[in-house]
Structure formats: structure tokens, C-alpha cells
Amino acid sequence: MTNRPEGDARAERNQRRAAARERAQRARVQQKRRQRGVRIGLQVGLGVVLLAAVTVVTLVLVDSTKPAGPGPSSMSRGGITIGQDLKAVSGAASSSPSASSTDSAEPVRITMYVDYLCPECAAFEKTNRTYIEGLVDSGVATVDIHPVATLSNRSQGTKYSLRAANAAACVAQSSPDAFWAVNRALFAAQPEQGTAGLTDAQLQRTIDRVDGVRDTGTINACIDDQRYGKWVDERTSAVTGGDVPGTTLTEFPGVPLVLVNGQRYEYSQPFTNEEFRTFVITAAGADDETATPTPTPTRTRTPTASPSASASAS
């Protein structure tokens, strides 16, 4: 056994301690670097997440404040006008209400604000459809139809009122002369409130089956895209806020709102055609039913009904 001097042993121990301290220092430096890298990575990741969130919120805010695109060209003020032969009258809907006139050439103007989920709207349409159709088909009257979505919260979150009104707007744009028949079909297919309503595919099939509808591919794509959904929503907000074209009303009483020459029809229920017919005659300015002409069909087809008495603007 070799004995080393005590000084040499002490020096060796000091060297080992110094080497250990150096290794520990290097380990601490490496650990700090790793921690700094993790911290930087977390900060970068959090920044990316925050940036993405800000971008999404910004896009949502921009989209929510962006005005709706233009509505159908045949619905310049939210409604489509149906005239003689039950065809759309270009650019005529929703003009200012006309006062009663003795000019027999001026047709009676019937205006209807409807929601396709409104059972009262469907009941009014069913009760008075043939009478209105006879007046309009023969040129004695025109009818403005304004689809609105006041009941969108009554279809289990599917916004059926909005989707149905959008579908009607799609028809008004691509096949306006079929609008009267489509309006009738949408009421005939009306679901009950509180249900999910028709799907978009069912709306498409309902419209596709209506005689006279053309350009069904464009209409179906329009329904899928909800192309006029935001426009319908904005028009509904405007109407319920008191902007009611076709009348001097400043408050919207709800659907159905029916006007004749700008005068509100305050109906009783159940609806009767006799009551509405009397109102039309009165609002048109006629003294009595015998003073109004009976509309004469102008087409060779058999009319759906020939009203026994109707009104003109005389």
C-alpha cells in the first residue's frame, strides 16, 4: 500500500469537488435552457391560439355587421306583386298605399305579410285563396306577398320560418311567375309549430313538384346556401320594427297582416270569405256589392274558382 502525502490527497479531493461543481453548473444551465425553451414554446402557442381567437371573433363581428346582400329582383321592398294571369308584376310590390279612387282602371291592391309557420296565415290563405285568385287572375286586383320570419324560434332551433321564407325568395328570384303556386304549396305543407319543420331537402321537393317552376337547380342551390336568409332576417327586423311598406302603420301587429289599399283587415276567427269579401269591397270604395264587377277569366283554362262578388277600385 502506497502512502500519499496528505497534501496530495487534499488536492485530489478539491479537484473532484471542482469537477462536480462544474458538472452541476452545466446541468443547471442546460435545465434553464430547456425551461426557457418550454416557456417560449408555450408563449408562442398561446399567442397563436389568441391570434386565432381574435381572428374568429373579428370575422364574426364583421359578418354580423355586414349588410345583407340584395334581395330578389322581384322583391325590391320585401314583397312580390302578383298580377293578371297570376304572374309576377316586375317592380310593382309595396308601393305606397293608394287612397280609394273612382278610377275603375286602378286595381285593388291586396297586401299580405305571412310567415309559413303561422297557422292563422295558412287558415286565411285556405279560406280566401280562390276569391283572391279570381280577383287577381282577372285583373281586378293585385296581391303583394311579403314572406317574413317572425316565428323562427318555434321550430326546435332549425329556424324553419327563416328557411321557408328564404326558399320563397329563391323562387321569387328564379321563377317569379310560379310564386303564387309555390306560396300555396308552402302553406299546404305547413308543419306544426314546435316541431323541427321541413328539412331543406323537403322544401326543395315541395317546390320542385309545383307546376310551372323553372330553374329548379338554381332554386335548390339557393335553398342549400340560404342565399337570402340574412336578407329575410333584416327585412323581418325592419317590418317588426315598424317599417311596413304598403301601409301607414307604424307598428307591426303580427302575422297574418292583410291590407287592402293600405287599410288593415281586422279579421275575426274563424276566417270567413264573406267577411273578407265585404272588407275588400268597402276598402276599395264601393258603396255596395252590386256596384262591383265580377272578374272575368282572361285565360282559356278553367279557373280554380269564380268569386260570386268581388271588388274593383271604383
Measured in degrees and rounded to the nearest 5, phi and psi for residue 303 equal -65, 150
Measured in degrees and rounded to the nearest 5, phi and psi for residue 2 equal -95, 125
Sign of CA dihedral 227, 232, 235, 241: negative
Give the pLDDT score at 27: 79
Q: What is the pTM of this model?
A: 0.71
Measured in degrees and rounded to the nearest 5, phi and psi for residue 263 equal -95, 135
Going by DSSP bridges, is the β-strand pair 80-83/141-147 parallel, antiparallel, or unpaired? antiparallel
Measured in degrees and rounded to the nearest 5, phi and psi for residue 312 equal -125, 180
pLDDT (tens digit, 9 = 90+) per residue, 184-206?
999 999 999 999 999 999 999 99
Give the pLDDT score at 242: 96
For residues 80 and 95, is the Cβ–Cβ distance under 8 A?
Answer: no
Write the CB contacts of 244 (distance below 8 Å, at least 6 apart in sequence): 113, 250, 252, 257
Answer yes or no: is pLDDT of 2 > 70: no
For residues 147 and 115, is the Cβ–Cβ distance under 8 A?
Answer: yes
pLDDT (tens digit, 9 = 90+) per residue, 75-91?
988 999 999 999 999 86
Least confident of 57-61, 126-130, 248-252, 302-306: 302-306
Q: Scanning the structure block, which residue is given the C-alpha cell 279557373? A: 303
Q: Cα torsion at 90, 285, 112, 187 (round to 10°)?
A: -100
Q: Where are the domains of the chain?
A: 1-66, 80-291
**How confident is residue 152, by pLDDT bands cut at 50, 70 and 90?**
very high
295: left (phi over 0), alpha (psi -120 to 50) or beta: beta
Task: Using CB atoms within 10 Å of the CB of residue 194, give its burial: 0 to 12 exposed, 13 to 18 middle, 19+ buried.
Answer: exposed
Section 121-146 average pLDDT:
97
Write the CB contacts of 36 (distance below 8 Å, at least 6 apart in sequence): none
Answer yes or no: is pLDDT of 290 > 50: no
Give the pLDDT score at 205: 98
Count CA atoms within 13 Å of residue 148 on its CB side: 27
Answer yes or no: is pLDDT of 69 > 70: yes
Domain 80-291: which topology?
Glutaredoxin (3.40.30)
For residues 210 and 178, is the Cβ–Cβ distance under 8 A?
Answer: yes
236 or 306: whose pLDDT is higher?
236
